[in-house]
Amino acid sequence: MRSLRMIAMGMLFHIKHVSRSPFDIAVFVVVPVVQATLAVYLFRASAEPQKLLQAAVGAGMMGVWSSVLFGAGGAISSQRWQGTLEMLMLAPRRPVMIFLPITLAQGAIGSYALLATLVWGRVLYGIRLDFARPWAFLVTAPVTVLSLGAFGILLASAFVLMRHANALQNALEYPVWLLSGMLLPISSLPAWTGPVAAALPTTWGARAMREATAGGPVWPSLGWCVAISALCLVLGAISLVHVERRARAAATLALA
């Protein structure tokens, strides 16, 4: 119970923290809408304009991934720049318990992208929100978003090992959009990308959302998304302990 309370309070604190940043607010508010508009015009120009709802959901998922990648993935870097990383690491809890609320909060913030693209599509482009399985969508969306937040812990721990995490962040946005089939089916990609895509929780999350939108077996996909994200969470927790010990031993916590 104490852990759950800590996660909830940590999420709330981080969301409040981000809400004070004009940069974060502007980017998180505007960019998903631009992506949704882009997706709408691309699909309108195509021979399959009937898939506009799937395009809007896909664009929303792209926004969730961007939020997780740049927010959750860069959480440790951000703490370092703000000079608060050492204090966080001094806290008498496991590192994963310190950073999980931050990455979950970024996932939750990313859910705005999903909501915004749907509202934008409905209001401006008249896209009918005819979900094949609306109740499944209402369950799938938050579970997927939180799963990706948990996946963010692995990113965060990986990025702390690298001095130039921002370069990796910039390089990772589009490949995951592409490999996860957020805007177009994975079947249109070369066959060798299949195993890579299957290992990403984003692929299964996007698939579950698509199945809830257009019809299909939602729960197996959602189950895979949660399972792979949980595995990433465990690996991230182990990695964070390793990183913390290494940084303490080398006295490079603020420099690593």
Which residues here bind another protein, judged by CB under 8 A? 22-23, 26-27, 30-31, 34-35, 37-38, 41-48, 164, 166-168, 170-171, 173-175, 177-178, 183-185, 188-189
Q: How far is the CB of 31 from another protein (least distance, A)?
A: 5
- Taking the least distance from each CB to another protein, the nearer of 167 and 198 is 167
- Taking the least distance from each CB to another protein, the nearer of 171 and 249 is 171
Q: Using alpha carbons, select from 170, 138, 4, 196 the residue that is nearest to residue 73.
A: 170
Q: How far is the CB of 218 from another protein (least distance, A)?
A: 23
Distance (Å, whole) CA 214 – CA 85: 44
Q: How far is the CB of 143 from another protein (least distance, A)?
A: 26
Distance (Å, whole) CA 18 – CA 25: 7
Q: How far is the CB of 25 from another protein (least distance, A)?
A: 9
- Taking the least distance from each CB to another protein, the nearer of 198 and 227 is 198
- Taking the least distance from each CB to another protein, the nearer of 44 and 93 is 44
- Give Dmax over CA atoms of the chain in angstroms: 59
Residue type, 40: V
Query: Which H or E run contains 11?
Result: helix 2-19
Q: How far is the CB of 166 from another protein (least distance, A)?
A: 7
- Taking the least distance from each CB to another protein, the nearer of 3 and 252 is 252
Q: Is the dihedral of CA 97, 101, 103, 107 positive or negative?
A: positive
Distance (Å, whole) CA 107 – CA 141: 11
